[in-house]
Amino acid sequence: MNKVTKKILTLLMAVTLVVGMFTTTYANETKKINVTFAIERFTIGQGFLVEPVTVQVNEGAAAKDVLEEVAKEKNLTINLSSYGYYIDSISYADTGVINIPESIQKMPSIDVDYGYGNQHYDAPTNTSTNALFTDDQKLGSGSYSSLAGWMYTVNNVAPDVAMDSQPVKDGDVIRLQFSVYAGGADLGFVSYYENIESAKLPNKDALTKLVANTPDNPQVVAKAEAIKVLANYDATQEDVDAAYTNLEKVQVTTAEPTTTQKTTLKKASIKSLKNVKGKKVKIKINKVTGAKGYQVTIKVIDENAPKNKVYIKSTLKGNKLSKKLQKKVLKVNAKINGSEIINFQVKIRGYKLKKNKKVYTKWSTYRSKYAVVD
């Protein structure tokens, strides 16, 4: 073997080694894991903001990656704190109607000195108000009580780090929960106040995961019942375990994630957007071949304060708004702008069914409608 041949072989071996290294690295980077996720408002009686879903993320992801994946899919606006990756509030997360459990309303008042005088806090009641509601219907720090805010658990344990510093692994259950009083003591977290005892709540993780893995099916009554049990703040561990047993009997689980599946459907678009003499809101959608239906988001905007908006979401089977939905849009608009002005924006997306789960296209861009009614 001459010197030239030896050099060529050496070079080929080096190239093969480098290619092999890159191939291995790429394979590791693309490995996926499944995580269960939900957003809960049980302490104010508003149930789930996001019902349990299975989310697929890259191995090595943090809890914040799971949240951002869901926020993107569900069109959520997450407002972060200036002190790190902590959630300050979530826009359009408060319906404005509360039913705070009696056990929270009866929690003792709190007196604490932060170094600048005594601060007194009373437990919230159903007459309490959300100071953030007029700002995009936000739910977060200070909503209904000064000691309220968003907190989260991973496998029923409250991490002591922000969501961007909390790693997740395959099979984890992440629950983002709204605490309305006592900094999480109402959620069963460790109480930082001497006279406040942490609530004794059941572990709902296993049932949360089972609900996420059970396809939507009107005939599966056990799933609907399980969701009711999960959303019930006063549910006992016996209630949760019984709901799990009933749902497990259905045996219709799936490992496919509901928030990250891709679809081959074309992106939906709005064909026309108009009002008829101020009495009807007519929105036509360009039909998408293969779509089983559409999801529409209508953003009604305050003419005098554009930052104030009310979002209306609905699922459509056809390519037009129902009369009921039209009336709802006009009613909301009249409440904000009066009957003389119509001011709203609309976006839509199509969906098809895959193993009884809705798989969505990307959202269309917003189309605007502004009119002065004669």
Question: pLDDT 10s per residue in the chain (374 long)?
Answer: 544 344 434 433 443 434 344 333 334 456 899 999 999 999 999 999 999 999 999 999 999 999 999 999 999 999 999 888 999 999 999 999 999 999 999 999 999 887 888 889 999 999 999 989 988 899 999 999 999 999 999 999 999 999 999 999 999 999 999 999 999 999 999 988 989 999 999 999 999 999 999 887 766 789 999 999 999 999 999 999 999 999 988 754 343 444 444 556 777 787 777 765 555 667 778 888 888 888 888 888 877 777 677 778 888 877 777 778 878 888 887 888 777 777 778 888 888 887 777 888 888 877 777 676 65
pTM above 0.75, yes or no: no
Domain boundaries, the chain: 1-30, 33-201, 269-372
Separation of CA 164 from chain center: 17
User: How many whole angstroms separate alpha carbon 107 and alpha carbon 130?
Assistant: 19
Closest CA to 77 of 88, 66, 85, 63: 88
CATH fold, domain 33-201, is Ferric Hydroxamate Uptake Protein; Chain A, domain 1 (2.170.130)
Structure tokens at 354: 């895959």
- Give the residues across from 314 on adjacent strands: 296
CATH fold, domain 269-372, is Immunoglobulin-like (2.60.40)
Q: CB atoms < 10 A from the CB of 237, how many?
A: 12
